Amino acid sequence: MTSGFRYFSIASPNHGQRRASIDMLVLHYTGMPHAEGAIARLTDPRSEVSSHYVVDNGGAIFALVSEERRAWHAGQSSWHGQTDLNSRSIGIEIGHPGHDGGNPPFSDAQIEAVISLCGDILSRWQIAPARVLAHSDIAPSRKQDPGERFPWERLHRAGIGHFVLPTPLVEGHGLAPGDEGPSVAALQGSLAAYGYAVEPTGSYGLETQQVVAAFQRHFRPERVDGLADPSTCATLRDLHEGLTPP
C-alpha cells in the first residue's frame, strides 16, 4: 500500500477471473468532471466497467478491484498482437475532465499520487517499463486518454515507464495520410514492432494516422496531428534504441 497518501477502499462488483499473468499497467483519464461520478459508475454493476484504482484531483487513491482480479477497463484493445488486455493488465483511472472538458493540466498532488501508486504496483508485479501504457496506445482508434497533457516524462524520471526526450520539431517533409510505398511500410513496421496495432500495408490510411497520433500523445506531445514528421520518426527510432533487451 502507498504511504503518505489518502487511501480508500470502495469495492466494485465489476470484475472476473484473469486468463493471463499480469504484465501491463494501463493509465486512463476518467473523462468526467469529478472523480466521485467516475467512482459511482465504476462501481455500478449496470455499467459493466471498472478499474483497479482511481486517483482523484487531490491525490486521494481509491482501490476498487483487487489486483488479482480482472477489472474491465481496457475494452477492445491490442498490444504486440495480444488482446484481452484486461486479463493481463492493472488499470488506473485518473480523475480528469478529458479533452471534452478542456483538457486541463493534471494537478501536482494527483501526479505524485499516481507515481507512488505505480511504483507500488511495479514492486509487486513483473511489468517491463515499455508495458506501462496509455489507454490510447492500446486502443488508438477509440481513445485519447490520458492525453498529451499527461506528464509521461515526469513518471519516467521517477522510474516508471519507458520514455526518451522527444526530438525537437523541425521543418521538413515526413509521411502523411495518402502516402504509399516502402517508407510508409517501414514506419508501420516500426510502430508495430514497438507494440501498436497497425499492419505494414505501405498505405498511410486512417489506421496509421490514429496510431501515429497515439504515439505522439505519449512520446512527442508537443504536436499531435497524426503526421509522421521528422521529429516523430526520430523519436520513434530513439525509443527503440533505448529499449532494454528482454
CATH dotted code for 182-241: 1.10.101.10
Distance CA 65, CA 126 (A): 19
Are the C-beta atoms of residues 208 and 225 closer than 8 Å to each other? no
Extract the C-alpha cell encoding 18.
Answer: 484473469
Task: Give the residue ranges of the chain where pLDDT is below 70.
Answer: 1-3, 245-246
- Interior angle at CA 78, CA 105 and CA 116, nearest 5: 40
CATH dotted code for 7-157: 3.40.80.10
Distance CA 135, CA 142 (A): 9
Q: Taking the domains of the chain in order of start, what are their residue ranges?
A: 7-157, 182-241
Percent of residues in the chain assigned helix, strand, coil, to nearest 5: 35, 15, 50
Q: What is the pLDDT of residue 246?
A: 61
- For the annotated catalytic residues, the residue numbers are 93
How do residues 135-169 score in pLDDT, each as one tens digit?
999 999 999 999 999 999 999 999 999 999 999 99
| β-pair type (7-9, 61-63) | parallel
Q: DSSP H helical segments within the chain, as ranges?
A: 35-42, 108-124, 135-138, 152-157, 182-194, 206-219, 230-241
**Whole-model pTM?**
0.97
